[in-house]
Amino acid sequence: MSTNTATPVKIEEKLFQNRYRVDEGHPHISLRDASVCRDACKDKVCTFCCPAGCYAPDASGGVTLSVDGCLECGTCRIICAEHQNVEWWYPRGGYGILFKFG
């Protein structure tokens, strides 16, 4: 039987190894209707399911979205199934996440 002696690595440390190229003025994800987030969506699951923390509750009861650091995992697109309020595309070529593997 083998024993795993590897040093644990925190998710924040792994994410820090990635690089993100911002496409100014061309966010690849947007909210279709901010009022839906504010008025119709009770649970706002995007604010705790996004692994990159791109969604955050705002003071008006809605959410703010910043795509910087987005991992392109697609979770927000799926998790918003009830309201279908996430417009989602991959970033344009040359922009977005640059993963460091290993």
Binding region for ligand SF4 (CB under 6 A) out of 2-10, 14-22, 38-46: 38-46
Q: Does 44 bind ligand SF4 (CB under 6 A)?
A: yes
Asked if 36 is part of the footprint of ligand SF4 (rule: CB under 6 A), the reply reads yes
Q: What sign for the dihedral angle of Cα 55, 56, 57, 60? A: negative
- Report how many residues bind ligand SF4 under the rule CB under 6 A: 24
Distances (CA, A) of 99 to 15, 29, 44, 71: 9, 19, 28, 9
The count of C-alpha atoms lying within 13 angstroms of the C-alpha of 100, restricted to the half-sphere facing its C-beta, is 8
Query: Which residues of the chain form contacts with ligand SF4 (CB under 6 A)?
Result: 29, 31, 36-37, 41, 44-46, 50-52, 54, 63, 70-76, 80, 83, 85-86
